Amino acid sequence: MEELVTVEPVCVRGGLYEVDVTQGECYPVYWNQADKIPVMRGQWFIDGTWQPLEEEESNLIEQEHLNCFRGQQMQENFDIEVSKPIDGKDGSGINYSAVHSFKLSRNHVDWHSMDEVYLYSDATTSKIARTVTQKLGFSKASSSGTRLHRGYVEEATLEDKPSQTSHIVFVVHGIGQKMDQGRIIKNTAMMREAARKIEERHFSNHATHVEFLPVEWRSKLTLDGDTVDSITPDKVRGLRDMLNSSAMDIMYYTSPLYRDELVKGLQQELNRLYSLFCSRNPDFEEKGGKVSIVSHSLGCVITYDIMTGWNPVRLYEQLLQKEEELPDERWMSYEERHLLDELYITKRRLREIEERLHGLKTSSITQTPALKFKVENFFCMGSPLAVFLALRGIRPGNTGSQDHILPREICNRLLNIFHPTDPVAYRLEPLILKHYSNISPVQIHWYNTSNPLPYEHMKPNFLNPAKEPTSVSESENIANIPSPVTSPVLSRRHYGESITNIGKASILGAASIGKGLGGMLFSRFGRSSTSQPSETSKDTVEDEKKPVASPATTTVATQTLPHSSSGFLDSAYFRLQESFFYLPQLLFPENVMQSKDDSLVELEHRIDFELREGLVESRYWSAVTSHTAYWSSLDVALFLLTFMYKHEHGSDTKPSLDPI
């Protein structure tokens, strides 16, 4: 009968694992694990520690208990009333305290009542100790017995289950998974544990929670089989094998032969996990569940290409088409020219037919999206995505929109997380607006910061507020101006000053540079406007060559200015000094030719977020360890949950920043 009855698996650990009751094994639901976790049924527990007895002994005690007390009702307050002392014996040697005894292999159990059961060891030392303590007047139970309880200290209830999942996060690994196939599972477990701690501390008032699922896509790929291993020399084999198992993934992805296999492997695994999760949680889609992706290293590039559908073959075909359209300028005979014209007309006609056929297919068959879900947030950790995009020809625009590199209809929010010393990570914001290369990334809050400022309201800080002087005269003129160039270099951790302070310093710098420009303009106008050299103009030119001496405390407005007979240069200089339009040109010299509106363009929302360096952290050591330091970071966990729980409050507002 036991073989005919099918027992459904029991979900445990928040639905991430299942237990096969008949086999006594626990296994994960969403990923593969070679070693099964043994599971034992707990029936009898040790008093105090509430640890279960071994299942074999527990089953024997349970069977004996049912044989003796089946059908009897346990009293809530059961008081033992024994006429003789517990462990007391009369002349016949009968034990009046124990209602029933049962012998095990190394122990025996005494029932003093239905709910008072003691376990005793039958080892020689235990027997001697029991005899001595009983002669001293102590009872058998109190001297050497261990009380047992039938059932756990807490009863299970229907409410005893984890909160409903409102947001799932797919964690995608990068290179090196072949070297350690279970590493992404361990890394995701560390990230999940850190997120649980943050949820208990900061998001305990939420009725839902965020679940993290590992996406292991590398182990199922065949690629070249063992061809690379067969051509690897035996010298320094360990190092070579490590490189073959890690860095070789980058070469596979840049290969047109194996790139599609990597992309399809990750795409299929993402869709499989989502379908499996929805089948086990039918209310997830109905209640508007969200999906985010956290990718690491090369996984960011593959995930990006899946979402956007980027294909290098299509780009190569476009380049070939452009080359074919270019005229051939070498000398050709009439017959050769005639044949080339016919070939060109035929190719154009063939291209038109292919376009019409493609249009008919797309109109009749709806194109299936690459992913079965829309990505709410795409978190990149230690990502080289910016380098790949730059090598593909992506250049900064002038809109400040995320759509320049990742459209919002594909992914609602793109966020780039990196450690300042991570050698693999690169910034994304300068690919959208070039002048953001001079603005520091947003600093990620420490997890134990009290009342942190929301990221939407954090003002940008400049890395290099002004350009270095390009001439000796400029350096002399600016020497006494308290600008960010002449101020002490700030440490990397503080990233410079606020926009307000830098704006004031840059206005002063503009005034000083304007003075130099005024002098040059005056000398040029002076030479061209006067037909005869006069002593007045000579004196003026000589005064122009003399350095202007002014005390260090003198402000720019009171410094000596070059004189002009017409007053034109004086008024022009003051207009230059007071004009706010020249500030962006000083902050971003490469954008001098942009219009006033373009130079003040801001991002719709920040994308680059940087972890804070430790106070006693060595940068050389961090460069080695920082690329894998994201998984267990509580700062990263708080950052992720902050954006994932944001949709519940509907606080997707544009940050209110002061104008530059």
Determine the angle formed by the axes of helices 259-280 and 298-308, rounding to 10 degrees: 80
- Please state, in angstroms and as integers, the Cα–Cα distance from residue 526 to each residue in 207, 477, 543, following that order: 78, 22, 13
Amino acid at 28: P
- Strands of the sheet containing 25-28, edge to edge, are 10-12, 17-20, 25-28, 37-38
- Alpha-carbon distance 544 to 527, whole Å? 13
User: If residue 380 lies in a helix (H) or strand (E), which one and from where to where?
Assistant: strand 375-381
Range list of β-strands (E), 263-322: 290-296
- Please state, in angstroms and as integers, the Cα–Cα distance from residue 319 to each residue in 5, 64, 99, 312, following that order: 65, 83, 93, 11
- Alpha-carbon distance 195 to 174, whole Å? 21
Q: Which residues contact 324 (CB under 8 A, 6 or more apart)?
A: 347
Q: What is the CA radius of gyration of the chain?
A: 38
- Alpha-carbon distance 171 to 299, whole Å? 9
Angle at 134 between CA 132 and CA 138, to 5 degrees: 120
- Alpha-carbon distance 123 to 193, whole Å? 43
Joined together, the tokens standing for residue 306 give 């899946």
Which residues on adjacent β-strands are paired with residue 443? 610
* Cα 397 to the center of its chain, rounded Å: 26
Phi and psi at 13, nearest 5°, equal 55, 50
Helix (H, G, I), strand (E, B) or coil at 412: strand
Joined together, the tokens standing for residue 126 give 């235990």
Burial class (CB in 10 A: 0-12, 13-18, 19+), 146: middle
Residue 401 known to be catalytic: no
Range list of β-strands (E), 262-361: 290-296
Cα torsion 258, 264, 270, 273 to 10°: value is -110
Helix (H, G, I), strand (E, B) or coil at 109: strand
- Strands 608-610 and 442-443, how do they pair? parallel
190-204 CB burial, b ≥16 within 10 A, e <16: bbbebbeebbeeebe
- Alpha-carbon distance 377 to 402, whole Å? 12
Helices of type H across 488-582: 499-529, 535-545, 568-578
- The residue annotated as part of the active site, out of 245, 292, 297, 626, is 297
Phi and psi at 591, nearest 5°, equal -105, 30
617: number of Cβ within 10 Å: 15
Catalytic residues: 297
